[in-house]
Amino acid sequence: MGTSWNPTVYGHYADERTRPYYELVARIRNESPGTVVDLGCGTGVQTATLAQRWPSAHITGLDSSADMVADQPSDLPAGVTIRQGDISDFDATGVDVVVSNAALQWVPHHRELLATWASQLGASSTLAFQVPGNFDAPSHVLMRRLAESDEWASTLSGVLRGGDSVDSAEQYASAMFDAGLTVDAWETSYVHVLQGVDPVLRWVTGTGLRPVLDALDDETRPVFVEQYRDLLRDAYPQAASGTLFPFRRIFVVARKD
Ligand SMILES: C[S@@+](CC[C@H](N)C(=O)[O-])C[C@H]1O[C@@H](n2cnc3c(N)ncnc32)[C@H](O)[C@@H]1O
């Protein structure tokens, strides 16, 4: 069974989570693509915005989570479809623009998939993706360390993946060059200022912590969460203006000329 997703919990901090999507899409040069696919689109809220830029395109958002897909906007623009599907099964043949925001890190063999899609794309097509580069940030290191501790390892060992979940911007760029594409790759470290109590816990509850939450039962889950929350409080102190949460992200826009 895959990781569970909760659209409401993931929807917190929507502004911070959606900004990279727009910064990624802004670097795509295609003016009037016929077919656009958004891989791991979540509820499709951001996918729908692509219709403003490309009003005559057929735009499809694919996501493996039935819960995310069920929460898709009821007022999708004409030409936009959000449906359930697995990134592993995607075939890029005939697609003009492939977008994927904050999803490929969940797919361990995405490097092989990227090479396959690069070979399937036709001339003037673009493959644009963003993945988090924060697996060595305190939020994730502390989560892994606690999960591997004597108290939790029997249940949680191996549940979380580490820095090998994603490559560096240079490695992705190099792979795309090898596949014959031109590349625009960069990194951005956002310094989010999160409001409220235990905001980093709230943030990761929507994403990175989900495999742990799925692996624990109703009795053990709150115990782990409380221990992890205390570690986060030390690592990300709350100030009057909010809690600073640095977050590095890796962007790649590769184009077949
Ligand atoms: C962090 S969310 C990103 C959602 C959206 N792209 C965004 O930027 O807000 C990751 C999404 O990837 C989806 N996902 C993870 N593995 C997937 C797979 N193998 N195939 C399709 N979707 C997948 C999850 O269901 C989830 O909705």
Q: Whose CA is nearest to atom 9 of ligand 1?
A: 42
CA-206 nearest atom, ligand 1:
1
5 — pLDDT class (breaks 50, 70, 90): confident
Q: Whose CA is nearest to atom 13 of ligand 1?
A: 40
Q: Quick check: is 2 in a domain? A: no
Q: Is the pLDDT of residue 123 over 90?
A: yes
- 74 φ/ψ angles, rounded to the nearest 5 degrees: -80, -15
- 110 φ/ψ angles, rounded to the nearest 5 degrees: -65, -25
CA of 40 to the centre of ligand 1 (A): 3
Q: Is the CB of 66 under 6 A from ligand 1?
A: no
CA of 193 to the centre of ligand 1 (A): 24
CA-38 nearest atom, ligand 1:
6
H or E element at residue 144: helix 138-147
134 — pLDDT class (breaks 50, 70, 90): very high
Q: Is the CB of 21 under 6 A from ligand 1?
A: yes
Q: Quick check: is 45 in a domain? A: yes
pLDDT (tens digit, 9 = 90+) per residue, 10-34?
778 888 989 999 999 999 999 999 9
Q: Is the CB of 5 under 6 A from ligand 1?
A: yes
Mean pLDDT calculated for residue range 171-189: 97
**pLDDT of amino acid 1:** 58
Contact in structure between 250 and 166 (CB atoms under 8 Å): yes
CA of 53 to the centre of ligand 1 (A): 22
Structural domain for 12, as ranges:
7-256
Q: Encoding tokens for residue 155?
A: 């249940």
* DSSP conformational letter for 208: T
6 — pLDDT class (breaks 50, 70, 90): confident
Q: Encoding tokens for residue 81?
A: 């479809």
Q: Is the CB of 103 under 6 A from ligand 1?
A: yes
pLDDT (tens digit, 9 = 90+) per residue, 71-112?
999 999 999 999 999 999 999 999 999 999 999 999 999 999
Burial of 111 (0-12, 13-18, 19+ CB in 10 A): middle
Q: Is the CB of 207 under 6 A from ligand 1?
A: yes
Q: Quick check: is 252 in a domain? A: yes
Q: Is the pLDDT of residue 2 over 80?
A: no
CATH number at residue 203: 3.40.50.150
Total domains present in the chain: 1
Q: Is the CB of 251 under 6 A from ligand 1?
A: no
Q: Is 151 helix (H, G, I), strand (E, B) or coil?
A: coil
Contact in structure between 200 and 232 (CB atoms under 8 Å): yes
Q: Is the CB of 63 under 6 A from ligand 1?
A: yes
Angle (nearest 5°) at CA 136 between 165 and 105: 20
Higher pLDDT, 2 or 43: 43
Q: Is the CB of 13 under 6 A from ligand 1?
A: no
Q: Quick check: is 1 in a domain? A: no
Give the pTM: 0.95
Q: Is the CB of 60 under 6 A from ligand 1?
A: no
Q: Backbone dihedral region of 158: left (phi > 0), alpha (psi from -120 to 50 degrees) or beta?
A: left
CA-87 nearest atom, ligand 1:
20
Q: Is the CB of 102 under 6 A from ligand 1?
A: yes
Q: Encoding tokens for residue 213?
A: 């939450």
Determine the Cα–Cα distance for residues 189 and 249; give it in Å rounded to an integer: 6
Q: Quick check: is 244 in a domain? A: yes
Q: Quick check: is 52 in a domain? A: yes
**pLDDT of amino acid 125:** 98
